[in-house]
Structure 1
Amino acid sequence: MIKVSILYPYRENGTFDVDYYCGTHMPLAARLFGAVLKGWSVDIGINAGPPGTPPPYVAAGHFLFDTIEAFYTVFKPASETLLADIPNYTDGGNGSILISEIKVTV
């Protein structure tokens, strides 16, 4: 199984609409990805460890797929719609993508 993570860096005075991201953007992606998508989640940054420190990322969206090929198959036709929606929840751009292989779950 692979996980596709989109990491949105924390920026002082940057905007990120968590409610829109969780309630509109991620469900939109899930609908566009269809049955190939095995699950999704969102992490919201709290801090960088020590109390009072800003988090390295304001948010991270995660999608689970069986294979990287499955992801690319559904992402290519959905990409234009999803990229066009980004300004609705952040002024910080596209974020960084990390594609990883899940080795252990508990």
Structure 2
Amino acid sequence: MYCMSIAYPQTAGASFDFSYYLEQHMPMVTRLLGDNCLKSQVRKGISAPDGSPAAFVCLATIWINSISEFQATLTQHGATIIGDVANFTDIQPLLQMDEVLA
């Protein structure tokens, strides 16, 4: 199993619309991934352990079975997915593919 991690760093003056992200963007992405999407999760940054501001406004994870199927989805629908980002944030996301070990 694999996991796509998407991180939106805390950025001065940036905006992030969680309602849009949860109600429009993530459902669209998971629908486009189809059966390759096992589950998804969205987390809102609250703070660092010491109480200082969170490093990330939002962290999202999408668990998938196949990296090649994920890449095929991006090839087919990537412009739609990336084009939608401006509807909920002006933060440049950081992306990472992980292999889930435990």
Q: Determine whether 1:63 maps to 2:62.
A: yes
Q: How does 1:1-106 map to 2 (within 5 A)?
A: 1-51=1-51, 53-93=52-92, 95-104=93-102
- Give 1:78 shift: 1.4
**Is residue 33–residue 78 contact of structure 1 (8 Å, CA) maintained in 2?**
no
Report % sequence identity: 28
2:43 maps to amino acid: D
1:43 and 1:18 map into 2 onto residues whose CA distance is: 10
1:46 and 1:80 map into 2 onto residues whose CA distance is: 31
Runs of 4+, deviation exceeding 4 Å: none
**Is residue 47–residue 55 contact of structure 1 (8 Å, CA) maintained in 2?**
yes
TM-score by length of 1: 0.90
2:98 maps to amino acid: S
1:66 maps to amino acid: N
**Is residue 4–residue 63 contact of structure 1 (8 Å, CA) maintained in 2?**
yes
- Give 1:12 shift: 2.3
CA RMSD of aligned residues (A): 1.1
Secondary structure of 2:96's partner? strand
- Give 1:66 shift: 1.1
1:72 and 1:62 map into 2 onto residues whose CA distance is: 16
1:73 and 1:35 map into 2 onto residues whose CA distance is: 13
